[in-house]
Amino acid sequence: MRSLTLKLTLAFLLIGIVIVAMIGIFFSQQVRQSFDQFVLDRWQVDVIRRAQTYYEFNGGWDNFGTEPYIQFNDREEGG
């Protein structure tokens, strides 16, 4: 009888560990996906803000695609 109790205890422990691991993996993926979406949203807001600043600074879209990002970034920040 003792052997059966040990086997059942080990089986339940193993099942519990597997379930906890699966839940951890699931939530890890959800957090990663949410963080990636957050970063993408922030990047889009930054691009729109920089495009708006470029338009206001230059009065139009002339040479918008040809001006290097670093130079525009430095000029916008006063550098």
pTM above threshold 0.85: no
Report d(CA 64, CA 56) in Å as an integer: 12
- Whether 66 has a pLDDT exceeding 80, the answer reads no
What pLDDT, on the 0 to 100 scale, is given for residue 77? 54
Average pLDDT of span 24-38:
96
The residue extents of the domains of the chain are 35-79
What percent of the chain is predicted at pLDDT more than 90?
54
- The CA-based angle 73-76-79, given to 5 degrees, is 80
37 band by pLDDT with thresholds 50, 70 and 90: very high
